[in-house]
Amino acid sequence: MRTVGVEEEYLLVGPDGAPAGAAAAALRAYELRGGTPEPEPEPGGGLEGELKEQQLETGTHPCEDLDALADEVRAGRTRARAAADAVGVRLAAVATSPVAGESTLSRGARYHHMAREYALTLREQLTGGCHVHVRVADDDEGVAVLDRIGPWLPVLLALSANSPYWRGEDSGYASFRSQVWNRWPSAGPTAPFGSAAGYHRVVQDLLDTGAALDHGMIYFDARLSHAYPTVEIRVADVCLRGGDAVLVAALARGLVETAAREAADGVPPLVDRVERLRAATWRAGRSGVTGDLVAPPAFRPAPARDVVRSLLEHVRPALADHGDVERVETLLDELWVRGTGATQQRAWFRAGGPAAVVDGAVAATAD
C-alpha cells in the first residue's frame, strides 16, 4: 500500500488579525516544552519555520490509513497552535492573509540569498500551501506518475481553494495564492518529462540558469521529492479544515496509484502542451468549485461538480484498493455543503469584515 503524508503551512496572526512575525519565538517555546523543531530523518511529527517569520509548518509521518493521517494532521495543528499560544499569537490555516500587513524574512543564509536574487517576488511571498507526499518505487515510476497526473492537479487546487484575500482586499480569486506562487520562475505545471533522465535534465537547467537556487526551489505543481522516495504534489492551498487536507491527500494518492498503473499498462500521458495545464490551473484558482473547471481529456470547461465527479471515477479503483472510497465520498459531501475555505472566508467577511474572517479561520483551524 502506498503511504501518504501531508505538510501544512500556517499563518501566525496578532491580536489585530494582521500577520505576526513570531515564528522564531514560537519554535523556542516549543523546544522548551520538549518538542523537536528540527526535521527528523523520517518526515513528520515536528514543527518548523518557513520562509517568513509569520509562518509555521507541520508535517505528518507517512501513513497507510486515512484515519491515522487525520489524527496526525490534527496533532500537527495542535502542536503549532500550542507554540503560537505560548508567545501570544494565533494560528490560522489560511493560504494568504485576510488582513493587510508586512512580512519579514526568517533567519538563514539561504533565505537571504533568495531575497537578493528574487527581490519583490520574495518580499511579497507570504502564502501557505498543502503539500502531499505519496510514496513511489523509484525515480522512473515517479516521473511516469508526474507525466500523467498534471491534467487532474487543478481539481485538487479548486477543492483546496482558501485564499480569496490579498493585502486586505478581495482578489476575485478563490485561490490567489496560486497567482502569487506562480511568480517564481521554477513554479507551475509541467509538460511530460518522458523519463527520469529527462526530469533531472530540466531540474539541472533551472539550477544552471539561476531560476532555482537549489533543489528545494523546484516549485513544480508536482515534483520528485529531493529528500524522500515520494512524488510531492504541491498545487493545493493549505486547507482551512483538517478534513479537507485528508480529502486532498486521499485523492492525490489515488491519482498517483492510477497513474502508476497506467504507465505500467503503456497508457500515454493525456497532454503534451503545458499551456493547457496553465489555463486549467488559472481557471481552478479563479473560481474554485463555484464555477467551471477545465476537464480532461477534452480540456473544455464543465461545471465543477461534474469535473470533480470525473476525477472521483478516474481514481475510484485505486481508492477502493486502499479502502478510501466511502471516506472520500463523505468528505466531498461535507465540502459541497459548507464550501471551500474561500467560500467560508467570504461568508465571514460579509458578516463581520476582515476581523471576522481571522476569528473564523482561527476557530476552524483548531476544530
pLDDT in tens, 321-362: 999 999 999 999 999 999 999 999 999 999 999 999 999 999
- The CATH code of the domain that includes 62 is 3.30.590.20
Cα 155 from chain centre:
12
Cα 178 from chain centre:
10
CB atoms within 10 A of CB 30: 23
**pLDDT, mean of residues 135-162:** 98
pLDDT at 41 > cutoff 70: no
Distance (Å) of CA 78 to CA 43, 73, 85, 229 = 17, 9, 10, 27
Cα 182 from chain centre:
13
The boundaries of the domain holding residue 61 are: 4-366
**Number of structural domains found in the chain:** 1
Q: pLDDT tens digits, residue range 276-324?
A: 999 999 999 999 999 999 989 989 999 999 999 999 999 999 999 999 9
| C-beta of residue 231 within 8 angstroms of C-beta of residue 117 | no
pLDDT at 241 > cutoff 60: yes
> How far is residue 255's CA from residue 48's CA, in Å, rounded to a whole number?
28
Distance (Å) of CA 232 to CA 142, 294, 347 = 10, 22, 32
- Count the alpha carbons within 13 Å of 76 in the hemisphere toward its beta carbon: 31
Q: pLDDT tens digits, residue range 61-97?
A: 999 999 999 999 999 999 999 999 999 999 999 999 9
- Convert 59-89 to b/e letters by CB count within 10 Å (16 or more is b): bbbbbeebeebbebbbbbbebbbbbbebbeb
Q: Is the peptide bond before 317 cis (omega within 30 degrees of 0)?
A: no
Which pLDDT band holds residue 156 (cuts at 50, 70, 90)? very high
Of residues 40, 22, 17, 37, the one with CA closest to residue 79: 37
> How far is residue 116's CA from residue 7's CA, in Å, rounded to a whole number?
27
**pLDDT at residue 236, rounded to an integer:** 98
Q: Is 140 helix (H, G, I), strand (E, B) or coil?
A: helix
Residue labelled with grid coordinates 467560508? 344
**pLDDT, mean of residues 126-149:** 98
| C-beta of residue 322 within 8 angstroms of C-beta of residue 254 | yes
Q: Which residues, listed in sequence order, are joined to residue 231 by a DSSP beta bridge?
A: 134, 224
Which pLDDT band holds residue 35 (cuts at 50, 70, 90)? confident
CB atoms within 10 A of CB 363: 12
Cell of 284: 481552478
| 348-354 long-range Cβ contacts below 8 angstroms, 24+ apart | 349/98, 349/165, 349/170, 354/17, 354/98, 354/99, 354/165, 354/168
**pLDDT at residue 88, rounded to an integer:** 98
**pLDDT at residue 36, rounded to an integer:** 63
**Average pLDDT of the residues of the chain:** 96
Per cent of the chain over pLDDT 90 is 93
Pairing of strands 219-220, 187-188: parallel
